[in-house]
Each structure stands twice: as C-alpha cells, then as structure tokens.
Chains A and B, each alone.
Chain A
C-alpha cells in the first residue's frame, strides 16, 4: 500500500504571496491532519479533516486554512506569507480514529524570503 504523499516537496515563496500544499492520504484513510514543524516550536498541530469536515483546529491565525475533497485528498493554504511561516509542513493520515495511528508523509519544505 502506498504511503502518504505530499506535493510539492520544496517551495520557495516571497513574503506576501500565498501558497497551496497538497496531501494524498493512504488509500482507505479518511482523516488527514496537518502539522507545522520548525526547529524552535517543534511539531505543532494545524487542523484535522474527516469526510470533508474540519473537526479540530490548532492555534494558528486565520491565514492558515485547509480543505478536504471527497476522495480524502487534502490541501492547505497559507495566505499573505510571513518570514516566520518558513517550515516543514507535514500531513498525516489515519483510518478515521482521530489521533490514533497517524502516518506521516515526507513533508513540504516551505521557504519564505
């Protein structure tokens, strides 16, 4: 079974721009969670989607948003990029049990200049 895939793997954007990242979960998994990973703050939860509905949200500003499609693929969008948004963005999928048995993708490395 194929793992979680994320595209693109690397991205360079300019401050003020917006960006969209994509995540395809493991086949059959209906829950997708997004995390931001930085050296200073570690792994921080952004939001979780299940059956196209956002079920939980972390403490991030409204510039961070996401959505999930009927095939469980998910996208996250960051508008008005700031330098501090430079990070590794990870998505994780699970069968449907919220926090249980989450499997991560390789991440998208976003650099904001």
Chain B
C-alpha cells in the first residue's frame, strides 16, 4: 500500500541554525504534500503545503521542496527559534476518486537556546 517515510525521527539544532526534514513517498500518483506541526496537547497545524506541479514553495522562514522523479520532498526551516520546537509530520495524498492523506512517522524537532 501507500507509504511515507520520514527522517530523521529526532532532530536537535541550535537556535538560529537551519533544520531540514526529509520524506519519501511510494505512490507515484500522489499530487499533494502538506506539512504539519504538532505541539504538545494540540492537534496538527498545517504550516505549508505543495502540489506536484510546483518544485518549491516558501513562506517566510519555512520552505518545502519537491522532487517528483525521486519521489521525495523536504521541509526547510531557517533561523530557527525556540517556538519551532514541536513534532513535524509530512504527508502525501493517495490516488483514487476520494483522496486521503498518508502520514510520515513524525520528527521531533528541538531548538536549543
């Protein structure tokens, strides 16, 4: 079935440095790739997404890149701040008349002051 692999599972960076989280997907028909941020005790928050007809998208300190040929996409966070500490999930849509999202296992990002 459809599968999304996410790496690394944990990531610790110094405040001000950049963080990169990578995901690969198995369904070549996937055409939508969102990223979610989940803080303790809260539901996942949509932070950025990209569709398959775009290679890169940026929103202030956050960017996502997509390589359809290699079937992988990445989240880049620059100038990290303590409030960026959270669990981040990538997801990919699946093929089919009524698409659904398949999620990666998550990356726990810790920003050290």
Contact = CB atoms under 8 A, between A and B. Distances in A.
Contacts of A92: 43
Given A90-B43, A101-B49, A106-B43, A43 B96 contact: no
A111 to B, nearest CB: 15
B98 A104 contact: no
Contacts of B49: 100-101
B84 to A, nearest CB: 19
Interface residue range, chain B? 20 to 34
A55 B44 contact: no
Interface in A8-22: none
A101 B94 CA distance: 14
A106 B45 CA distance: 10
A68 interface: no
B20 to A, nearest CB: 20
A58 B103 CA distance: 13
A33 B105 contact: no
B105 A98 contact: no
B42 interface: yes
A99 B98 CA distance: 8
B106 A42 contact: yes
- Scoring A4, A102, A107 by chain B CB atoms within 10 A of each residue's CB, the highest score goes to A102
Given A42-B106, A43-B89, A104-B36, A98 B100 contact: yes
A98 B105 CA distance: 21
A43 B103 contact: yes
Contacts of A45: 100-102
14 contacts: A42-B89, A43-B89, A48-B98, A50-B98, A55-B97, A56-B98, A56-B99, A100-B49, A101-B46, A103-B46, A104-B36, A104-B44, A106-B43, A107-B43
